[in-house]
Structure 1
């Protein structure tokens, strides 16, 4: 059970907004008090974390070159150079494969959430290009093996495709626009009594913001008239996402 320090109202009472209240965050926090949205959001976070872990694993490709490489500060755990052992032949392909899996997860997620841009996916794609580019400049197929260079080619292709998709074919609003839309849909399926309680709590949060002069009275009246789950549409950053 939430303590007072964890409640959305406590957050509204004590957080410093600087005149820019994230309206969507208010209802997100309210939604997290419900089992339906909380369980869904936590599943999304676990998938996101798995994609991040797989994506950044490609940076481990640098570590496999060990002291024989040119990256300062990266050393193997033993005195042996992985370049002259079988460790590199196992670890390097694994790192590259994990990178491919991570980017594939981001690509699937991008499509499933309605082509909303994910900045983390873009970062992973850039990181993958840097790793593969650096290894290609430093080593030859004779050093790392032709199979590794094939994998690096696949990684490069995946990274470029992901960057192109995220840059040129994404819809406005980003990941959070999708999450807020899902929040609104899940709130509409709640029992009437639960919805009424959330609306009452939402009103108390608005009162807290008015008391702190973080919210203009006219804006507060507009917000009160919105259906449950509709606050996010009032944020300027989602202006284009609302209509697309």
Structure 2
């Protein structure tokens, strides 16, 4: 099954470039249609099955923010990507409440768009389809695809030396924006989330493996054993050794 794309931009050259000069087939996608404004886009969405919408922000009649609001309310299965110029980037980010997946800053490279859509397709492949007729609040995921992608990256690189910047880069964003949206959706900072995961994994290894403390420290991505011990005690009120002894006695 190919994912159906709708490209929305009031500039003919941009619509043409996005439609014709990107190898959508390699991403398991096909450009179903293009539209010059949000009003045209809504008509296409109502008459066709669309999976992904790539839209500009400033357009006549109905702009990209209003289009995002409409999609969120009426077709929560559709993933929206916003393209915006630098001057309108802050305005574009106001659409976070409408579960917009990505915000890409113009001018945007072909490689960055392909990487963005590849991530979305990968995420969609893991999700069960929802019924568009259901209420948005009931069908919307707990986290936006943007945050899910960040969480997936964290899970896959837990043993690495991650920084806020490298995580933001993996989801085509910047550290400040990722930090703000992550805290809003997840309820904790990115760093605290990572630390919680590492401590949880360390506890599991202490309970169910014979690895030494320094090996566990390395296995959870904290490559300074002394710091690991201090951090573990801060979170559990016990040293790693005491935690293991208590687990063994149960």
Same fold (TM over 0.5): no
Structure in which a larger fraction of residues adopt helix: 1
| Structure having greater relative contact order (Cα 8 Å, sep ≥ 6) | 1
Which has the higher Rg, Structure 1 or Structure 2?
1
TM-score (norm 2): 0.28
TM-score (norm 1): 0.28
Structure in which a larger fraction of residues adopt strand: 2
